[in-house]
Amino acid sequence: MRTATGIVSATTLSDAWLETLVQVAGTPDRKLFHTVTRIMEPTTENPPVRAAADDLLAALDYQPIETVANTLFPVHLANSSQNIAQLGERYRVMYPTIRRVHKSNRRGTYFGRLVEYPAENGPLDQISALIHKLNQELAVHGPKSARYEVPIASGLQDLDESNHAMPDDDLTAALPIHVTGRDTSPMDFPCLSLCSFQLDHDRLHLTAHYRSQYLLQRGYGNYLGLARLQAYVADVVGIQPGQLLVVAGLAHADIAKYRVCALVKATASELAD
């Protein structure tokens, strides 16, 4: 195992996830505070790593990568929807069933909170609001780079709840997932606490902050769901997805070290020294 620095940078999503898992698994308690994972090309995967991860999750009877990723972004539903409004509406219709059928989703899903946040004046579609703000900035000369935050534990003071638009003089656009008074469990949903989008000319970067993350059970799926959300928003506003940065306050390697070694050996991934 490599010496853990808690800082990983890799080209593909798969290699970034595996290197993060290797580092955290190499610590005495298999956990590491303040891990930072930078993915240069988040829409690119390494097939051998993806296949090995899926096989291990199946062997341990954990949810598949696609199932976890869909809690952040339902890619197939998005691909069959004409626009973000239709995507949000279709998901809201399905949301009660998703929460009822899947026990792990009983408190909700991240995407559910993004398109149906229980605001004071009624449900709020936050992704539409984010896209609206990006389109506003891209339509003017010298658009601002960093005003597209999706904080998960804050209020709605930065949103105009009547029409989902955001005031032009705001520095950030807060799109919370955490619901004050409802999300009271310290060990349950939501672990994702902030998504912050940065506009870099013709690219859209994304930074995601987790208070805690289980790298085997949820890590790969979380990375993939975030990458798909980032790519979707970028495509809707007519630009390219940029880098994805994932920060975890506490990362857990919820897997025995020998399994991590076997996982690395089973792949052809060329991880950085």
pTM of the model: 0.84
Q: Specify if 273 maps to a domain.
A: no
pLDDT at site 189:
53
Tokens 């609001």 map to which residue? 129
Reply yes or no on whether the pLDDT at 38 is more than 50. Answer: yes
Task: Name which residue leads in pLDDT, 32 or 125.
Answer: 32
pLDDT at site 179:
52
pLDDT at site 86:
95
The proportion of the chain whose per-residue pLDDT surpasses 90, expressed as a percent, equals: 53
Q: Specify if 18 maps to a domain.
A: yes
CA distance 66 to 266: 21
Q: Specify if 272 maps to a domain.
A: no
Q: Specify if 206 maps to a domain.
A: yes
As a whole number, the mean pLDDT across the chain is: 82
Q: Specify if 100 maps to a domain.
A: yes
- Alpha carbon of 60 to those of 30, 48, 52, 57, 216: distances in Å? 18, 18, 12, 5, 10
* CATH for 53: 3.30.572
| 175, two tokens | 């799109």
Reply yes or no on whether the pLDDT at 74 is more than 50. Answer: yes
Total count of domains within the chain? 1
pLDDT at site 182:
54
The proportion of the chain whose per-residue pLDDT surpasses 70, expressed as a percent, equals: 79
Average pLDDT over residues 225-235: 97
Domain extent for 161: 7-265
148-182 residue pLDDT tens = 665 443 344 444 433 343 333 332 333 445 454 45
Reply yes or no on whether the pLDDT at 37 is more than 80. Answer: yes
Q: Specify if 63 maps to a domain.
A: yes
The answer to whether 249 touches 34, Cβ cutoff 8 Å, is yes
pLDDT at site 169:
32
Q: Is residue 74 reached through a cis peptide bond, with omega within 30 degrees of 0 on the bond before it? A: no
CA distance 10 to 72: 22
pLDDT at site 106:
78
Q: Specify if 25 maps to a domain.
A: yes
The H or E element spanning position 198 is: strand 192-200
pLDDT at site 156:
42
Torsion sign, CA atoms 131, 136, 137, 140: positive
Average pLDDT over residues 186-195: 68
pLDDT at site 122:
74
Q: Specify if 235 maps to a domain.
A: yes
